[in-house]
Chain A
């Protein structure tokens, strides 16, 4: 068997799968090594993908040619729109996953992808020579060499399971932990830290009294995450259910608090902020009685139900006690107890936006190892790591989307300078340009990138381009149309409760009024409806509705992009920059940040110095643009 690969991916979770697929699809001979081939693409925690921020990532992964979007579209149990009433910028799909089908489909995809080889094995050592990655060694002593290595070890590194006072070495979902690799990181100058996360108990479906609970069905017409599935109808969805804690549950938690790892302090405190355990919720908000508990299916053929909101690592008896206090779960039979897991992740500031290590050349890291939480965040990083490993292999310029252009860009930008103790999770709150980075604009923002990278086929590119042009041309056509204040028009508008018409009003202005849509407006004008698909009409209406806001956002986007184009460390040092303060000179010559935008964001450059750098660079940019060069390095 071949012992040398262009790219090796360690780990078969959501980051590893995307990394391996991207690498192989871009033509690099790729090896994926994982602890257990049967648990590739495992979802060891919640059975869902998407939601505001996360759903945006999945959409973008789909546009760029990643796998998560189509995989969940094919295998979901339920698809639902969230935030529909709060506005297109925060609107997002959320799917309930069939954990088993998702894995199966992902494994099949991996097996049938050319250039990709799968191998089960426990990687225990990185082979590094002179600061450059050379390969890996397995527990068995087997050595594989490579040009580029992508490590996506998830929560497995030196993983420890904690349940009450007990703890033992082990990975999520009763897998084994990965040992050895952390030491190898440290030996090569890469620092690690401890993080933790936890999962709720799973209960037997027949032991839950659903009749007492509120049913939460999906949306039949939601469409899927991939462009191809945008109008897909999902029949036969499976519902989730909602129940609540009450005084009895809070009492039960309080009673058992002495056995909570949070109180015992036998676990690190650094866990995800957005999904605290039930014990943490009670400790932090002691007066809150009602906490939501979502009961979610894990698969069509699974008998297990996931209790979203009841995450805990309190001992088994405590978990049973708490459950029996919750309406509908009085007699619930626990199949798997909730637990916490503590694992090694990289310390902040050690990798670039490309996911390449700042310390070992040719080494890339992605996923929870990089200090994120969530399947979607992992997949997005895996995709970026896979793409960049191959670009570097081919000596091409690295790729990362700008934070002004996508949630993936926000993620890699934030993450590469994230220095807070808790894991990073994406939400619209991280995206300052979120009115531009809407779910419905994902194709328009990224399809060209996907095509240029090579993960989007010619035919797919042309189809999406035609779709994009249809919407954009129609917006242009509408800009020239206007409505006259004729009696019948005025009556019609009043009937639609959308204001009066005193003079000739442009269509753009009319569509910005509430209550008036494309179809009604075209009827009024007696114009042909060029757009008929609901998604196209939605995109058009949203674009027009957001016009003023988008233009204001655009000004800020241009400023950010300018700063992003000044890559650090600067490779040339203009003599004029000698007059900068000593601190600033150190910053822009060091390898701490990827670009000036990051340094400014971190407050590492004073205002005066920034003004000076901008003055020098705006001349240089101007000269470069005349020469057709994009970036200043």
Chain B
């Protein structure tokens, strides 16, 4: 029987609720070999043992530096969740510590697990049936660990401080509001709704900028999608090969050869870009082609920018005009390429009016530098090169940020309109979700803060 090569994976699986502890799970054949390099256990117990916990330290073997005191629980194959050797590292719930442990695991031979990969392995090793795997993977889908790990690295710095600060600002008002709601007869100054509203609006605007930076970060980390759009045989595939410097797309003279969208990654001015070759736009000839066109439209819709590709050696067709109309109505960055400039030019340049257009000959390789330069201009003018400001969030964190922003929007819109109890709910949600963005403990005991800050005693 064919058996694929199995490597060792690791991921953070932070506990629910008031989690002072983060759990990092490692699974695979090299689990204990990797642990052996970075875990120095206390005591004399043989390591590992089935279902056993070991107290000890995670040490960076190169820097000879203690990262954290941890408890490692070991499970021996096949009696574990995945059926493989597993080690669960219980570390302190500090994002810096957790990300350093993850880095150590990875530099010593583990790989960051994909979303649902533990479950997948459990399934492959006969630990569950497919229905269960599906149910679990849905739940786990929001927790893409690679992204979370990247985000943790990112959040060691300024963004996390920024989020913590605005969270604290809102919390201060929330505590006062809650105090007056919970203890109406204690002489607590009720909040000035309008003043708080003005402050919340200011915070909201700051959050919008943060959100933009996160969106840019997410776009850039996935690669900016640039779709090639043109009629069949306008030379999209050869353009793609030309940009990539190798033959990726099948190039023939028969129009409609590229029936599916092709996707390739490349760095342009250090920015990761995904070039998407589409099937082209024309009246579908057969069913396969119809699907191809549908995918083209979808690719254009999903794209960050679109390159319109035109064959300069022929007179423009209805299809070309249709594409120009489409591009005009597109609220996206657009660049036009007039291709095949090595041949006599018959296309009317009037067609390109209003668009930045670059002349290109794939065959002779002229104009390629200008294409890259034009794309770089687009990226830069959109702030896509400002890596310093960009924020990388995991899927869960991004969702939390979205929730925080909508809750804060509701709070701001409700000022003077909604009751204070609704305002408190919106502010509470904002604070809670901002906590999730930062990976701080989510359990905030507002009542404790009330007693800390106000003299309650009616």
Which A residues contact B (CB, under 8 angstroms)?
Answer: 51-53, 82-83, 85-90, 273-276, 281, 284-285, 288, 290-292, 294, 308-309, 311, 427-430, 434-435, 513-514, 545-546, 549, 576, 579-582, 600-603, 605-608, 610-612, 614-616, 618-619
Contact = CB atoms under 8 A, between A and B. Distances in A.
B456 interface: yes
The 10 closest A-B pairs by CB, nearest first: A87-B419, A87-B421, A603-B17, A615-B135, A89-B421, A611-B139, A579-B81, A427-B182, A86-B420, A90-B181
Given A607-B16, A619-B131, 4 more contacts: A83-B184, A90-B420, A276-B455, A605-B15
A545 B422 CA distance: 10
Interface string B1-42: 000000000000111111100010100000000000000000
B183 A514 contact: no
B73 A273 contact: no
Contacts of B19: 603
Interface residues of B, number: 51
B447 A292 contact: no
B136 A309 contact: no
Given A428-B181, A616-B132, A606 B16 contact: yes
Given A429-B450, A603-B19, A615-B136, A86 B457 contact: no
Contacts of B451: 273-274
A273 B456 contact: yes
Q: Which of A428, A430, A579, A619 has the most chain B CB atoms closer than 10 A to its own CB?
A: A579
B13 A607 contact: yes
Given A275-B457, A429-B446, A582 B183 contact: no
Given A281-B455, A610-B16, A615 B139 contact: yes
Contacts of A429: 178, 181-182, 446-447, 450
A608 B25 contact: yes
B450 A292 contact: no
Contacts of A427: 182-183, 447
B13 A606 contact: yes
B388 interface: no
A576 B73 contact: no
Contacts of A275: 456-458
A308 B456 CA distance: 12
A313 to B, nearest CB: 15
Contacts of A309: 457-458
B113 to A, nearest CB: 11
A292 B187 contact: yes
A86 B187 contact: no
B122 interface: yes
B127 interface: yes
A308 B458 contact: yes
Contacts of B131: 619
A603 B90 CA distance: 14
A53 B182 contact: yes
B132 A88 contact: no
Contacts of A618: 135
A536 B425 CA distance: 25
Contacts of A435: 421-422, 425
Interface string B180-196: 11111111001000000
Contacts of B450: 429
A275 B183 CA distance: 11
B184 A86 contact: yes
Contacts of B181: 52, 83, 86-87, 90, 428-429
Contacts of A428: 181-182, 421
Contacts of A88: 419, 421
A605 B422 contact: no
Contacts, number: 147
A414 to B, nearest CB: 11
Contacts of B16: 600, 603, 605-607, 610
A306 to B, nearest CB: 12
Contacts of B118: 608
B416 to A, nearest CB: 8
8 contacts: A89-B421, A273-B451, A276-B456, A429-B447, A607-B143, A608-B25, A614-B139, A615-B136
B219 interface: no
Interface of B: 13-19, 23, 25, 51, 73, 80-81, 88, 118, 122, 127-128, 131-132, 135-136, 139-140, 143, 178, 180-187, 190, 416-422, 425, 446-447, 450-451, 455-458
Nearest to A612: B136
A600 B18 CA distance: 9
Contact of B420 (A87, A430, A606, A611): A87
B182 A603 contact: no
Contact of A285 (B13, B416, B455): B455
Given A430-B447, A615-B139, A602 B17 contact: yes
A311 B457 CA distance: 9
Contacts of A514: 416-417
Contacts of B17: 600-603
Contacts of B88: 581
A607 B180 contact: no
Contacts of B132: 576, 615-616, 619
A274 B187 contact: no
A311 B455 CA distance: 14
Contact of B182 (A52, A285, A608, A610): A52
B130 to A, nearest CB: 12
Q: Which of A86, A275, A309 has the most chain B CB atoms closer than 10 A to its own CB?
A: A86
Contacts of A606: 13, 15-16, 23
B177 to A, nearest CB: 9
Contact of B18 (A82, A513, A603): A603
Nearest to B118: A608
Contacts of B425: 434-435, 549
A290 B457 contact: no
B2 to A, nearest CB: 25
Contacts of A87: 181, 418-422
A414 B455 CA distance: 24
A285 B88 CA distance: 46
Contacts of A607: 13-16, 143
Given A429-B182, A603-B16, A90 B421 contact: yes
Given A600-B16, A603-B18, A582 B51 contact: yes
A290 B450 CA distance: 18
A86 B15 CA distance: 36
B31 to A, nearest CB: 15
A616 B136 CA distance: 9
A305 to B, nearest CB: 16
A408 to B, nearest CB: 18
B174 to A, nearest CB: 11
A434 B425 CA distance: 9
A545 B73 CA distance: 51
A276 B187 CA distance: 15
Nearest to B53: A582
Contacts of B420: 85-87, 90
